[in-house]
Amino acid sequence: MSETEREPLRLMAVHAHPDDESSKGAATTARYAAEGVEVLVVTCTGGERGDILNPSYVVPEGHEFDSLEGRAVVRREEMARSAAALGVRHRWLGFVDSGLPEGDPLPPLPEGCFALVPLEEAAEPLVRLVREFRPHVITTYDPSGGYPHPDHIKCHEVSAEAFAAAGDATRYPDAGDPWQPMKLYYNHGFSMKSLRAVHEAMEDAGLESPFGDWIESRTAREMPEREVTTYVRVSDYFAQRDEALRAHASQIDPDGFFFAVPRDIEADVWPWDGYELAESTVPLPERGAGEYEDDLFTGVREALDAAREAGDEGREHAGVNA
C-alpha cells in the first residue's frame, strides 16, 4: 500500500531541554518529516538554567541572559529556529529546568523544578499531548537519561508513564480520549560503537579525533552498553541536523565538538542514528543475530495496512485501541 493511501504516520520525540532535539535523533526527525511523516518534538523544560556554552556567543540586542525569564525567551527563539531547520512541529510541556547539580555533596534541586514534580503531575500534560497528537511511535531517553541529568531521567519517567497510560481510559480520565502508541524507543546517539568507528576513521585519515579521551575515560569506567536494535540511515539529513544545532547559538559552539568530524567521514563510517526498542504493541518480524531494524515504523505500517484492509478505518489502529 502506498504512503498516500495509508493513515499518516506520526512520530513524537520527547526531550528534556531545548537543544536536546538537535543532538539526539535530529537527522531521524528531519528524514521522517521530509518523507511525509507527521513529526512532533516535545520539550519538557524551557532550559532556563542552562549556561552559555558557546564561547563566541553574544546575547542578542534586546535580550538578557541573567535571569531565568530572560534565558527562557532566548531559548524559545532558538528552539523555534531548530524546529524550522528540521521541518518538524514543536510543543513545550512547560516545566522549569532543574539545572545540573554539581559539588560534593550535591546541592538540593531548586524548588518547583521539573525533576521534583510528582510523576503523575509531570506526566499528565504529556499524556494529554499523546492523546491529541496520536503518535504511532515515541522516542525518548533510556532509564539512565543518557547521562545523569535529573531532567533527562525525569524525561524518561514521564515518557514511559505516558506510553503506558495514554491508551488506558481509566488513567488520566480528564486528559482526552485514549490513544495507545505502538512503539517506544530510546535514543542511542553516542554509543561506544559509533564513537570508535568515527575515531578510528579520523585517525586513519591523519586527523585528530575529538573522541580519544572520551573513549578512554568511558572504557576505564566500564560503562555497560545498552542494546541497539534499530539503525536508521540518516546521512542525507546531516545538513538539517547541523543547522538545528547551530540554531542553539547560546549552547552550541560552531567550532566545537559537534562539528569536529568531517561530514564525509561520518557519512562513510556511521550514517545512522541508533535506537533501542523498549516497547512494542504490534507484532514484529524475527531478527537473527546481527540483524537490526532500519525503520522506526517497522510493524506499524503493516498494522495500519491490516486495519484498513479489515475495514477498521474508523478505529485508531488494528488490535491496539479496541
What would the mean pLDDT of 156-172 be, rounded to a whole number? 98
Domain that holds residue 287: 10-188+226-309
Examine residue 2 and state whether it is found in any structural domain, yes or no.
no
Instruction: State residue 315's pLDDT score.
Output: 47
Examine residue 209 and state whether it is found in any structural domain, yes or no.
no
Examine residue 93 and state whether it is found in any structural domain, yes or no.
yes
> Looking at residue 23, which CATH number applies to its domain?
3.40.50.10320
Examine residue 233 and state whether it is found in any structural domain, yes or no.
yes
Measured distance CA(274)–CA(292) in Å, rounded: 10
- Max distance between CA atoms of the chain, in angstroms, equals 61
How many domains are contained in the chain?
A: 1
| 250-301 confidence digits (pLDDT tens) | 999 999 989 999 999 999 999 999 999 999 999 998 888 889 999 999 999 9
Mean pLDDT, the chain, rounded, equals 92
Q: Are 132 and 91 a contacting pair, CB within 8 Å? A: no
Examine residue 178 and state whether it is found in any structural domain, yes or no.
yes
pTM (2 d.p.): 0.94
Examine residue 31 and state whether it is found in any structural domain, yes or no.
yes
Label residue 81 by pLDDT band (50, 70, 90): very high
Residue 295: which of 167, 139, 146 has the closest Cα?
139
Distance of CA 209 to the CA centre of its chain: 25
* pLDDT surpasses 50 at 64: yes
Examine residue 296 and state whether it is found in any structural domain, yes or no.
yes
Label residue 319 by pLDDT band (50, 70, 90): very low
* pLDDT surpasses 90 at 312: no
**How deeply is 103 buried, as exposed, middle or buried, from its count of CB atoms within 10 A (0-12, 13-18, 19+)?**
exposed
Sign (positive or negative) of CA dihedral 272, 159, 276, 226? positive
Task: Look at residue 188 and give its three-state secondary structure.
Answer: coil
Instruction: State residue 56's pLDDT score.
Output: 96
Label residue 247 by pLDDT band (50, 70, 90): very high
Return the percentage of the chain with pLDDT > 90, whole number: 80
Specify the amino acid at residue 294.
Answer: D
Instruction: State residue 219's pLDDT score.
Output: 56
Q: Are 18 and 47 a contacting pair, CB within 8 Å? A: yes
Examine residue 96 and state whether it is found in any structural domain, yes or no.
yes
* pLDDT surpasses 50 at 138: yes
Task: Look at residue 152 and give its three-state secondary structure.
Answer: helix
**How deeply is 35 buried, as exposed, middle or buried, from its count of CB atoms within 10 A (0-12, 13-18, 19+)?**
exposed
